[in-house]
Amino acid sequence: MKVLAEKRVELCQTIVSLIGSLRAENGCLRCDFCRSMEDENEPRILEEWDTRENLNSHLKAERFRVLRKAMNLLREPYEMRIHAIT
């Protein structure tokens, strides 16, 4: 995702305020907030879930809705990639 430079701090604060509760969700194995080394306006959220069902529950949760609303601070639509390992 690419955030508007003038909105970077606001987006980061929102994500940081949510990250602990995201990590505490049932089935969350990993939830990391990081930034591109090449462009500070390209933050990333990396999540790992134990089952597809728990991921689906997360995607329907209020915390995820709050996170999606924060995506209004981006300069272009965010991209979500889901990789399944079997």
Domain ranges of the chain: 5-73
Q: Which residues of 11-41 are buried (b: 16+ CB within 10 A; e: fewer)?
A: bbebbeebbeebeebeebeebeeeeeeeeeb
Q: How confident is the model at residue 9 (pLDDT cuts 50, 70, 90)?
A: very high
Predicted local distance difference test score (pLDDT) of residue 79: 87
- Is the CATH number 3.30.70.100 carried by domain 5-73? yes
3-state secondary structure of 26: coil
* Tens-place pLDDT, residues 11-27: 999 999 999 999 999 99
Reported pTM: 0.83
Q: What is the pLDDT of residues 30-84, one digit of tens each?
A: 999 999 899 999 999 999 999 999 999 999 999 899 988 888 889 888 888 999 8
